[in-house]
Amino acid sequence: MARTQGSHSGITGPRVRAAALQLFAQHGYAAVSMRQIAREVGVQAGALYNYTPDKQSLLFDLMQTHMTELLAAREHSPRGATPTEALEHFTRLHLRFHSERPDEVFIAYMELRNLTPENFAKIEELRRSYEDGLETILRAGVNSRDFEVNDPKIAAMAVIAMLTGVNTWFREGGRLSLTEVEQIYWDMVRKAVGA
Amino acid sequence: MARTQGSHSGITGPRVRAAALQLFAQHGYAAVSMRQIAREVGVQAGALYNYTPDKQSLLFDLMQTHMTELLAAREHSPRGATPTEALEHFTRLHLRFHSERPDEVFIAYMELRNLTPENFAKIEELRRSYEDGLETILRAGVNSRDFEVNDPKIAAMAVIAMLTGVNTWFREGGRLSLTEVEQIYWDMVRKAVGA
DNA sequence: CAGTTATCTGAACATGCGTTCGTTTAAAAC
DNA sequence: GTTTTAAACGAACGCATGTTCAGATAACTG
């Protein structure tokens, strides 16, 4: 099913990114070769360089796109009238967004060390921005006495770590539905911050 | 300072494991070559094969040792008279043990996919055994009405994910001492399970 | 239908990989 | 002080790596 020369598919670009995403998530960036990605797409290795300047950019683009979409999803999601409501929205959005993108999440957490220092700094800034969003909600809740949180910065990290951990075991069609998982985790998060 | 031929150091074996640990944690298993490990030890690549049959065994040994020591630490730690006490011991032990071994923890969570299927199965069994320990505590607490937990298995995963997340930011000598971190996290865990 | 252009091939490049092995060395054993 | 032996060297193995590029091809343009 090898693609023939000269064919203007117009969809090879997305297919390259999709193949890289899946392979990086499964085997790790360093363990995946450009030839493997090319084989998955049905093309020779050289053809990949019509769509990415190099392997590093392929990784960076995947991570940047993921983080940007995460932040965009936050902006387009309801704010919540109270800190408790805002925290519930954050929790549910995080679970939903991450469960829909297991490969992206895996890469975003596992492949940071394979970014060049410059690329790493850019991704870290996006991540910090996301964490700050949660921290802001927690601080607001502490001020309004809705929450009982000792250290909002650490609580934000703890909550995100807990929520992201879902991706290590959750599979659509398993014992629990996403809705049930959301409820269970929102319960634990709410209690953990004393709301 | 290259080690000369024929020197019976008797300590090269541990040095090989230490170098592999540090390099695997920093760059990832797939990105580290046997020659890099050898250079770190001060030896030629071929000499490593006096201490490990191959690269894969090096990784597996590091992970197996880590998990075995974790389970051993659990066994030698106090049981706790009540479920709440048991959970507090678990929480504090986890934080203390993991904060002392950042490299081992990183590898144990990141390099699972680089294990052969047989080695992966062995490590997974050790991990499951650890998770089961926490799940047992949670079930006991639910039965005794000390805890309010919807789904003990998921709560166990959630708590472990939250606690292990500490390793992404905690550094000795930072803003908070380990003792303070323990207290903050025990607070959140206790509340999250409704104790 | 001819000309242009985007797309892909396939070979090549230098470099690095994990692993093996005959040889050399220096410490240990007697 | 000689023999033994564990430990390390250093070259070699076949193969894979990321990337480049001249040449071939097929779809689009006029």
CATH number at residue B34: 1.10.10.60
Report pLDDT for A8: 58
Please answer yes or no on whether B114 and A28 come within 8 Å at the CB atom.
Answer: yes
Q: Does residue B83 sit in the same domain as residue B129?
A: yes
Instruction: With cut-offs at 50, 70 and 90, classify the pLDDT of residue B10.
Output: confident
C-alpha–C-alpha distance, residues A102 and A25, integer Å: 9
Total structural domains within chain A: 2
**Are A82 and A151 in the same domain?**
yes
Whether A6 is covered by a domain: the verdict is no
pLDDT at A20: 97
Looking at residues B37-52, what average pLDDT do you find?
Answer: 94
pLDDT at A5: 61
Query: Quick one: A96 and A161 in the same domain?
Result: yes
Same domain, B89 and B150: yes
HSE at residue B116, side-chain half, CA atoms within 13 A, is 9
Q: What pLDDT does A10 receive?
A: 72
Task: Give the minimum alpha-carbon distance from B79 to chain A in angstroms, rounded to a whole number.
Answer: 24
CA distance A3 to chain B (A): 31
**CATH classification of the domain holding B92:** 1.10.357.10
Q: Do B131 and B163 have their domain in common?
A: yes
- A9: the nucleotide nearest its CA (via C1') is C7
A28/A78 same-domain check: no
Which residue on chain B is closest to A156 by alpha carbon?
B162
Do A109 and A164 belong to one domain?
A: yes
In this structure, the answer to whether residues A45 and A72 fall within a common structural domain is: no
Stretches in chain A below the pLDDT threshold 70: 1-9
Q: Within a domain: residue A61?
A: yes
Query: Mean per-residue pLDDT for B48-71?
Result: 97
Spanning CA of A21 to C1' of D18, the rounded length in angstroms is 18
Residue A174 lies in a domain: yes
Report, in ranges, which bases of strand C sit under 7 Å from a protein C-beta.
6-12, 16-22, 24-28
Residue at minimum CA to C1' distance from nucleotide D8: B5
Q: Residue B8: which pLDDT band, with cuts at 50, 70 and 90?
A: low
**Residue B6 approaches strand C within 7 Å at CB:** yes
pLDDT given at position B155: 97
Using one digit for the tens of pLDDT, what is the confidence trace for B28-40? 999 999 999 999 9
Query: Does B91 map to a domain?
Result: yes
Cα separation, A99 vs A171, in Å, equals: 8
Are B45 and B84 found together in one domain? Answer: no
pLDDT reported for residue B1: 32
- Residue A5 in any domain: the answer is no
Same-domain status, A46 and A61: no
> Which residue range forms the structural domain that includes residue B40?
12-50
Residue B137 lies in a domain: yes
Of B30, B162, B168, the CB nearest to A162: B162
* CA distances, A21 to each of A13, A110, A181, B149 (Å): 12, 13, 26, 36
Residues A90 and A126 in one domain: yes
Quick check: A176 and B154 in contact, CB under 8 A? yes
